[in-house]
Amino acid sequence: MVQLDVETILSQLTLGEKVALTAGIDFWHTAAIERLGVPSLRLSDGPNGVRGTRFFNGVPAACFPCATALGATWDTELLHQVGRLLGEEAVAKGVHVLLGPTLNIQRSPLGGRGFESFSEDGVLSGTLAGHYCRGVQEKGVAATLKHFVCNDQEHERLAVDTIVTARALREIYLLPFQLAMRICQTACVMTAYNKINGTHVSENKAIIDDILRREWAWDGLVMSDWFGTYSTADAIRAGLDLEMPGKTRWRGEALAHAVSSRKVPEHILDDRVRHVLRLINWLDRAGIPEHAPEKALNRPEDRRLLRRAAAESIVLLKNEGDILPLKKDRSLLVIGPNAKLAAYCGGGSASLDAYYTVTPFDGLVAQSTADVRYVQGVYSHKELPLLGPLLKTADGRTGFSFRVYNEPPTEANRELVDELHLVSSNGFLMDYVNPKIKSFLFYVDMEGDFTPEEDGVYDFGVTVVGTGKLLIDGEVVVDNTKNQRQGSAFFGNGTVEEIGSKELKAGQTYRVLLQFGSAPTSDIDTRGIVVFGPGGFRFGAARRITQTELIAQAVDQAATADQVVLFAGLTAEWETEGHDRDHMDLPPGSDELIAAVLRVKPDAVIVIQSGTPVTMPWAPEAKALVQAWFGGNECGNGIADVLYGAVNPSAKLPLTFPVHLRDNPSYLNFGSERGRVLYGEDVFVGYRFYEKMQRAPLFPFGYGLSYTTFSRSNLRFQVSPEQQSSNVLADGEPITASVTVTNTGTVAGAEIVQLWITPRKEGPGIIRPVRELKAFDKVFLQPGEEKTVRLVVEKKLATSFWDEEREAWVSEAGTYGLLITGTGDQILEDEFVVNRTRYWVGL
């Protein structure tokens, strides 16, 4: 690509060409104007890895731990390195614009995409995101802050009207975007699906133009979320530069007509085009060509970073009697549904095919010098485990054949138009294309051989966006073609899984055939659903066995085992875009399994994987408890590094874990009711609520243990003198706190020092949280080593709240408290004075 003379090209573009530049041409690309040298740009998901251009059968990628896991590291240097690798992965995939990071707030543990966001707190989230974006953009790739703003639930996400006060909007939901922008001016911002106080964000001038562009003086490109544009003139006028994806629904001839009829002045359209052209110029330094081939990196140094990120995200919640780290030379029993499953990412647009995955079981086996045994414990799948990896093709390869036709199976002599070899029996066809396919209506036969290892009744399940019929040796076992029921799979496009069963004999080979019809063959009503492409399929199977039998087997072995680790939790089935969780509990059977194992083996180590909090009714009985998240490619190795002590855990919770769902401040106000959701907790989100209400959570925000101990001492801080010449807080005026941190234990480790501010003692003008996080830093120390940590925060960020009457931030005169915390209960305290009340706006 080359530098464009933006104004000259604008003067030469026809109206049709201008319109074309404001919308995508397909799922991932913008329009090119070849005669003027304007290239097409490629965009791609996402927050924890760069997928490239294909959901279906794409080029594998590096997958980092989910955002809550990265948030748990509290490590700006690590997030900067993560961003740099994501930039390099984007270049390898020919991607100009990375659609991440996600900066929404986890109001509730139920949010389907909660795992995509860093934290419930704007300071932690925005700071980490800023360093992440800086890393991405150092590689010449555009980062995209999303979803701007208040896209904090999946329920009716296209239509829901978020009713939120101006104060909460500023202090909670806009704050992470604001702070990220202070660290790195990202090239792009993506608007949210939802409305805010009556107006969709993609056509909300107050949000896009007044705040983002004018108040924050940001001049990048604003794009819609995919299918998140709802108007022509209103969206253009509000400042939405780019409608995605293509082909356009709202621009094209409709926009050209709006300009011709002066419903949209052409100079406003020019502004939208100008941002597209400027983005192309910004991207020129990366030298990524148009329509570049997609390549894999998968370098040794990348694998080391992925492993470090996985290990440093793991939070040690309990370790009574120093059960951890485990002994490598002692035998180990591994139990649980997540042990031999690589729960490496959540579902939806953050999901991708990883270069490779490491299960927790494999990670432990690789480091143990003694015997490692495994027992299932319970099943925790939401839908039956994928059958594809258990199948064989006619020529003996793992997987199955995928044969595509334009005609249904009932038509004789139909022509084969495409044939693929697949392993995963879970495929979303949103970006599948073939020049021989005439429309979105087509048919696929998926066929392979299954040889069970045990006798028994086997359940088979089929989930589709479209229709599906599963046959075994010619017998229909599952029919998901009629009276279909809406489910949560495939961004809410899919059916409920339909299940059938058949008794099978061990060692006998059975021919499995799934007859699939694409989306137009379905009878499901898709109103209110974002329809992505021509369809999707998923088929799975499992031998039928009761949870009671499985638990009994696990308990029997645990009672006599030397060491026990039990892995439970959620997967991409349970936490996914398009569907909020129905409850906060683990999958059925998991709590019963954990409780039963703890009764016979009290020192069993419990490891939970999830992107957001789960209930833990057995937590009081657990002596060793670890939160491991969705850990990316190196998930299993990262967990093993911590459990065996190769890495001393240093992570802290980036969000509060409540005892019960009803304890959460959004409990009565989560989910759409007749088209709206009330953010009734106002600014009291997460820890702000629990501390104000003096309601003890299961584990608080900022909590995490270590294999060593730390002390904090010698708190000193300096407050810069206030500038007396203005009633507006000037930039700067930093508050600098320094504290001595000492590793008082016997193991090298990292401490995370947290700086909090408490409201002024004279009494706030409004109700404020008990304390608010304002700065943090991570420091690594050898045993006995001490270092001085300096934490700096501007006075205006430390003390201000949003004054709705003045429509500005206000720092009130008075005496404020300063607290320093970290690992353990020790708190250092001091206070400082703000002499005058002052107001400010902007970044």
Give the integer Cα–Cα distance in Å for 665 and 682: 9
- Nearest alpha-carbon partner for 352 in 44, 114, 49, 117: 49
Residue with the two structure tokens 């036709």: 405
Give the integer Cα–Cα distance in Å for 232 and 180: 30
Give the integer Cα–Cα distance in Å for 512 and 665: 49
With b for 16 or more beta-carbon neighbours within 10 A and e for fewer, the 162-196 pattern comes to bbbbeebbbbbbbbbbbbbbebbbbbbbbbbbbbb
| Extended strands (E) in 97-179 | 97-99, 142-148, 161-163
Question: Exposed (0-12), middle (13-18) or buried (19+): which is 198, by Cβ within 10 Å?
Answer: exposed
Residue with the two structure tokens 């001016």: 185
User: Is residue 188 within 8 Å of residue 211, measured between CB atoms?
Assistant: no
Q: Which one of 225, 241, 353, 431 is the catalytic residue?
A: 225
Provide the Cα torsion 601, 605, 607, 613; round to 10°: 80
Residue with the two structure tokens 């974002």: 530
For helices 300-312 and 635-643, what crossing angle results, to 10°?
50
Give the integer Cα–Cα distance in Å for 699 and 106: 16
Give the integer Cα–Cα distance in Å for 572 and 343: 7
Write out the DSSP string of 511-571.
EEEEEEE-GGG-----TTS---TT-EEEEEEEE---HHHHHHHHHHHHTT-SEEEEEEE--
Give the integer Cα–Cα distance in Å for 808 and 334: 56
The type of residue at 810 is V
Contacts of 521 (CB under 8 A, 6+ apart): 441, 466, 467, 481
Among this protein's residues, is 479 annotated catalytic? no
Alpha-carbon separation of residue 838 from 332, 401, 767, 793 (angstroms): 62, 69, 19, 17
Question: Exposed (0-12), middle (13-18) or buried (19+): which is 218, by Cβ within 10 Å?
Answer: middle
Give the integer Cα–Cα distance in Å for 627 and 649: 11
| Phi (first) and psi of residue 307, to 5 degrees | -70, -40
The type of residue at 671 is G
User: Is residue 242 within 8 Å of residue 222, measured between CB atoms?
Assistant: yes
For helices 635-643 and 360-367, what crossing angle results, to 10°?
50
Within 13 Å, how many C-alpha atoms sit on residue 791's CB side?
A: 27
Alpha-carbon separation of residue 529 from 23, 163, 196, 525 (angstroms): 21, 22, 19, 9
* Alpha-helical regions (H) of 324-381: 360-367
The type of residue at 491 is F
CA distance between the termini of the chain: 32
**Number of H-type helices and E-type strands within the chain:** 18, 36
User: Is residue 540 within 8 Å of residue 386, measured between CB atoms?
Assistant: yes
Give the integer Cα–Cα distance in Å for 214 and 606: 50
Residue 260: how many other CB atoms lie within 10 Å: 11
* Alpha-helical regions (H) of 547-675: 547-558, 590-600, 635-643
Catalytic machinery residues: 225
